[in-house]
Amino acid sequence: MNRNIITVPVRRVESGSNVTEQDLVAVEEPLQIRVNGSDFAITMRTPGQDRELAAGFLLSEGIVHGASQIAGIASDERGTVTVTLAPGVEVNVAGRNFYVTSSCGVCGKASIDGLRATDCPTLARGIPKVPGSLISELPDKLRTAQPVFAHTGGLHAAGLFDSAGNLVAAREDVGRHNAVDKLIGAALLGGKIPLSNNILMLSGRISFELVQKALMAGIPIVAAVGAPSSLAIETALQFGLTLIGFVRGQRYNVYAGHDRLV
């Protein structure tokens, strides 16, 4: 079984003294994603939920739009996920081989125009309506669902909540984009896409790639404890997504889609 935590020796220095101790750190390893027998992408991730990660990645790329388009998906102990698409679902793998680091989810999209070209779902305006006070509760609820972070302090997290603020699912990974792909992939494989009545809560900042993934999954509200990028804000405004940053205590900033908050 793949491990997501390992023990390493460290020299701990404090108040002029130093001692050798064992420390827990999060694992980072490559995952090869293969589609219909051909290499498609390599991503650096924390092992675990690899099938979900691959499924979420393919949804974000616009390769698949529903669970019925995946005929089979299998992972092995060597760090490979093999996806077989359903008959009639085709993708030209040539020239689309991505290498994705744990810090950047490039995902093949260079602009908002590229996102529009993937048949991104249209979000229903003003739906769902959620109490503004609910947003402030989400970081603490997400933190309780981060067991590996509690041991290592080295992972990002993504949480999916319903419009009443109940935690539906959470995923952790060394990469922000991987955590979101795992979360979306689980919903995809469970036949729950689009996630039109949900909120995505992030433990870090909001980049364009994360807004892209939310849109492809039909998620109407994205909130984070960190800041959004300029392109994330521009994308949210153009596609009608509610974008909330700096959720800390009882305060936060709404950068787009304030009409969903009541």
- What's the pLDDT at 26? 76
Residue 198 has pLDDT above 60, yes or no: yes
CA–CA dist 223, 107 (Å, integer)? 21
Q: Residue 228 pairs with which residues in a beta bridge?
A: 206
CA–CA dist 66, 58 (Å, integer)? 10
Q: What is the per-residue pLDDT across 203-216, written as a single tens digit (0 to 9) for each?
A: 999 999 999 999 99
Q: What is the per-residue pLDDT across 167-180, written as a single tens digit (0 to 9) for each?
A: 999 999 988 899 99
Catalytic residues: 104
Interval 118-127 mean pLDDT: 81
pLDDT bracket for residue 70 (50, 70, 90): very high
Q: Which of 98, 100, 207 is nearest to 158 (CA)?
A: 207
Interval 243-260 mean pLDDT: 96
Cis bond before residue 47 (omega within 30° of 0): no
- What's the pLDDT at 97? 55
- What's the pLDDT at 145? 87
Compute the mean pLDDT over every residue in the chain, rounded to the nearest whole number. 88
Q: Which two structure tokens, joined as six digits, stand for 4? A: 């997501």
Residue 79 has pLDDT above 80, yes or no: yes
Q: Are 178 and 197 in contact (CB under 8 A)?
A: no
Interval 223-227 mean pLDDT: 96
Phi-psi category of residue 237: left, alpha or beta, with phi > 0 → left and psi -120 to 50 → alpha: alpha
DSSP 163-192: TTS-EEEEEEESSHHHHHHHHHHHHHHTT-
Q: What is the per-residue pLDDT across 99-114, written as a single tens digit (0 to 9) for each?
A: 555 444 444 445 567 6
Interval 77-105 mean pLDDT: 73
- What's the pLDDT at 105? 45
What is the set of domains in the chain, with CATH numbers?
Answer: 29-108 (3.10.20.10), 132-260 (3.40.140.10)
Q: Are 248 and 262 in contact (CB under 8 A)?
A: no
Give the 3-state secondary structure of residue 255: strand
pLDDT bracket for residue 27 (50, 70, 90): confident
- What's the pLDDT at 18? 86
- What's the pLDDT at 86? 95
